[in-house]
């Protein structure tokens, strides 16, 4: 039972344009969300997070939006750069402990 879903396995974007990666979740107890970036043959690295008390968090070119009523979050990358090409995982946590549930990832390709 997958509680965090990333329905787009891949996305291609031209350099300089906006990349929008989407994530949906089913558990209304989730109150903390993170995005991780993963390059081939490396582990995921933390990118940006948001707690449920906010609907937006921005860090440089990266912005995460949270729509609690729709149980949806998105990661915007503006402007996209070729170095952003990687797999992006959405993760969510809530309730007890610090157990995170991950989506299956979206592979982003930024075309120069």
Residue 10 interacts with another protein (CB under 8 A): yes or no? no
Interface characters, 12-41, with another protein (x: CB under 8 A): --------------------x-x-x----x
Rank residues 14 and 39 by Cβ distance to another protein and give the closer one. Answer: 39
The encoded tokens of residue 85 equal 């090409």
Q: Among 67, 78, 104, 111, which residue sits at the site for another protein (rule: CB under 8 A)?
A: 104
Q: Are strands 106-111 and 10-14 parallel, antiparallel or unpaired?
A: parallel
Strand partners, 77: 19, 62
Sequence-ordered list of residues with C-beta below 8 angstroms from that of 91, at least 6 positions apart, any chain: 4, 33, 34, 35, 36, 100, 101, 102, 103
Sequence-ordered list of residues with C-beta below 8 angstroms from that of 5, at least 6 positions apart, any chain: 23, 24, 25, 26, 103, 104
The encoded tokens of residue 50 equal 């948001």
Residue 99 interacts with another protein (CB under 8 A): yes or no? yes
Residue 44 interacts with another protein (CB under 8 A): yes or no? yes
Rank residues 14 and 45 by Cβ distance to another protein and give the closer one. Answer: 45
Residue 8 interacts with another protein (CB under 8 A): yes or no? no
**Site residues (vs another protein, CB under 8 A):** 2, 32, 34, 36, 41-46, 49, 51, 87, 89, 93, 97-102, 104-105
């Amino acid at each position: 039972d997958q509680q965090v879903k990333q329905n787009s396995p891949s996305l291609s974007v031209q350099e300089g344009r906006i990349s929008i990666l989407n994530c949906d979740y089913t558990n209304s107890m989730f109150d903390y969300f993170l995005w991780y970036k993963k390059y081939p043959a490396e582990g995921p690295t933390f990118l940006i997070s948001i707690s449920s008390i906010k609907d937006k968090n921005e860090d440089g070119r990266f912005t995460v939006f949270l729509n609690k009523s729709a149980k949806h979050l998105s990661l915007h990358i503006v402007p996209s750069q070729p170095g952003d090409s990687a797999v992006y995982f959405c993760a969510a946590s809530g309730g007890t402990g610090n157990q995170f549930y991950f989506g299956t990832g979206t592979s982003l390709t930024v075309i120069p």
